[in-house]
Structure 1
Amino acid sequence: MTTPTRPDTSVTVSVDVAAPVEHVFDVFTRQTSTWWDPDHHLLDDTVDMDVDLRAGGTITEVDAAGSRCTIARVLVVERPARFVFTWDVSPRWEVETEPARCSEVHVAFTALDDRRTRVVLEHRQLDRHGDGWERMRDAVGGAGGWAVDLARLRRAAGAV
């Protein structure tokens, strides 16, 4: 399921979902908490993921007390075909505040037919994170990384 396309700087993961493309896009962007691995948050008690679905928006974790932690900036929204955001998380798994040190996540949604969608997620420019970027590449590209999230997306979005 995980295929590094440029093993030095990028990781690509794909999954086919038994649901229409519009639905899969909506689950990915508007119901992020249903598929995001609960063990992969910067806040200890994250209960929601807030996606401001517009270029210039953000992806923010929200914990039970209402504290917020922005982990990404939305770059492109082309419903239902494409969603692109920055990865504002450092190799130390902390918020990265320097935009030049953030990678990008490009997600393509392709209708295979009226009831099936292919999702291809490419996490690009991981080397922009600086020292330790290889550990991040190995983490997001490994068995516990984006592959887990897309498997969870398949289950969450395929329940239509």
Structure 2
Amino acid sequence: MTETTEMTVRRSVRVPCEPAKAFALFTERMADFWPRDHSIGDSPQAAVVVEPHVGGRWYERGEDGVECRWGRVVEWAPPHRLVLTWQITAEWRYDPDFETLVELHFTPEPDGGCLVTLAHRHLERFGDRADAMYEVFDSAGGWAGTMTAFTRVAG
């Protein structure tokens, strides 16, 4: 029996606001920090939406009004925890039968700020593309850049 090791990309940033505000910014204003070129739609990205409940959709809406699903909300526990499925394949297409997990924790800091920790888990599910996808998500153009952009919105 072959044992598969879980592959996870982790990123943490500190923001100068309390967890409730950081959680709200992350979930309600994702289009303000999500890279515009990180889109799976045919039209330029106009919005990124996280529906605020377990089972809610996570999707982008193009300028043409077409919605492209990215995943769904697995855990909605404001202001401290959010878990989303990432259901976009290595070919950058939505697949309802594929999923990795994006888990976020919003931890209060003594100075009134917040530590936001992201873990994109189960990248091994990309199979023979797992190492390449890990590199994509771990790069400056991946979660590092997205989380840095989030700190600018939260700042």
Aligned-residue offset at 1:8: 5.8
Structure 1 counterpart of 2:28: 30
RMSD: 1.4
Partner of 1:102: 99
TM superposition score normalised by structure 2: 0.92
> How do 1:105-116 residues align onto structure 2 when only pairs under 5 Å count?
105-113=102-110, 115-116=112-113
**Alpha-carbon distance change, 26 to 114 in structure 1, aligned in 2, over 3 angstroms:** farther
Equivalence for 1:82: 81
Aligned to 1:67: 66
* Residue 11 (structure 1) aligns with: 9
Q: TM-score, normalised by structure 1?
A: 0.89
Structure 2: tracts of 5 or more residues without a match: none
Residue identity matched to 2:60: E
Contact 1:61 1:70 in 2 (8 A): yes
Q: Return the match for 1:144 from 128, 137, 141.
A: 141
Which segments of 5 or more consecutive residues in structure 1 lack a partner in the other structure? 1-6
- Alignment: residue pair count: 150
Greater mean deviation of Cα atoms: 52-61 or 109-118 = 109-118
SS where residue 113 of structure 1 aligns? coil
Identity %: 30
Q: After TM superposition, which residue ranges in structure 1, 4 or more long, deviate above 3 angstroms?
A: none
Query: Does the 8 Å contact 1:82/1:109 carry over to 2?
Result: yes
Structure 2 distance, partners of 1:151, 1:39, is 16
Higher mean Cα deviation, 36-45 or 102-111? Answer: 36-45
Query: What amino acid does structure 1 have at the position aligned with 2:34?
Result: W
Structure 1 residues 133, 96: CA separation in 2 closer, same or farther (over 3 Å shift)? farther
Letter in 1 for 2:23: F
Q: C-alpha separation between the residues in 1 aligned to 2:37 and 2:12?
A: 21
- 2:129 matched residue in structure 1: 132
